Homo-oligomer: A and B are copies of this chain.
Amino acid sequence: MTRRSVFFISDGTGITAETLGHSLLSQFDTVEFEEQTLPYVDSAEKALAAVQAINERAHIDEARPIVIDTIIAPELRSILRTANAFRLDVFDAFVGSLEQELSQHSANTVGKSHAIVSESTYGTRIDAVHFALDNDDGARTRHYDRADLILIGVSRSGKTPTSIYMALQFGIHVANYPLTEEDLVDMNLPAVLRPFKKKLFGLTIEPQRLAAIRHQRKPDSRYATLRQCEQEIRAATAIYNREGIHYVDSTHLSIEEISTKILAMMGLKRRLV
């Protein structure tokens, strides 16, 4: 397998360069990429240090590193251009043509995109995170009227990480409620959820995978047996189907995929842009 070093360089967090970079590099699965991020490169000194790091890497690797950068300041871009690298320049590729289309000059402001937007946006996000935490795992049910979404599923089907991700990224209020063995035995939707049926979304997962996850948590417990997992999943899915509750199988999906699918399937509007 070929190996290539990759630098994501940014005057801000580096998130845009990383996200785009992963997306592009995932197209080349016969190359092994060794990635590093250099965030907050916002001065000539730091840009020169980045060039030095790149050049050292080029020397060690005997191949020029790949640089994906979102630096905006022209003077820093000139410095980066001197590195011994194959450089994908995100702003060069797009900002010029956008300026033309919008008949506007770009602001050339450093590190804007993941900077705090406004106090109200920040507040929305923090509120959503605290809502998700306070209403995690059925801990409290009295605020379901304020929820945008209530995730349901058996233990360890992915409810908590999904709730938190959706709160952080979309700013929506997500509660989650575990379907327990008792709920599943009589195959009834818990009474506390009934009034909020339109807000419910189910998670399911392949029994083998669930058993493996549970086994890590409580080795050799009944809770982690394949038989127990199969029964619970079968009962949960039966409830979803009978009650007309949308659901997805989380087994082969990332948290990002689960979350964006839920947003689309439930027709939910984000509270954050």
* Chain A 23-48 interface 0/1 with B at a Cβ cutoff of 8 Å (1 = within): 11111111100010101100000000
Give min CB distance, A30 to chain B, whole Å: 6
**Which residues in A have some Cβ–Cβ distance to B below 8 Å?**
2, 4, 12-16, 19-20, 22-31, 35, 37, 39-40, 66, 70, 72, 86, 88, 90-91, 93-95, 97-98, 101-102, 104, 106-109, 112-117, 119, 122-123, 125-126, 129-130, 133, 136, 158, 160-161, 164-165, 168, 209, 212-213, 216, 252-257, 259-261, 264, 273
Contact across chains for A260 and B160 when beta carbons are under 8 A apart: no
Bound state CA distance, A98 and B126, in angstroms?
39
A-B contact pairs, 5 of them (CB 8 A): A13-B256, A27-B107, A115-B257, A117-B254, A129-B164
Contact across chains for B168 and A2 when beta carbons are under 8 A apart: no
Whose C-beta in chain B lies nearest to the C-beta of A33? B273
Contact across chains for B160 and A133 when beta carbons are under 8 A apart: yes
Residue among B98, B109, B253, B264 making CB contact with A116, cutoff 8 Å:
B253
**What residues of chain B lie closer than 8 Å to A26, measured between beta carbons?**
107, 109, 112-113
Contact across chains for B4 and A102 when beta carbons are under 8 A apart: yes
**What residues of chain B lie closer than 8 Å to A102, measured between beta carbons?**
2, 4, 28, 31
Known contacts: A98-B88, A112-B27. The answer to whether A160 contacts B257 by CB under 8 A is: no
The copy count of this chain in the complex is 2
Contact across chains for B253 and A101 when beta carbons are under 8 A apart: no
Contact across chains for B95 and A93 when beta carbons are under 8 A apart: no
**What residues of chain B lie closer than 8 Å to A112, measured between beta carbons?**
23, 26-27
Give min CB distance, A262 to chain B, whole Å: 11
**What residues of chain B lie closer than 8 Å to A109, measured between beta carbons?**
26-27, 29
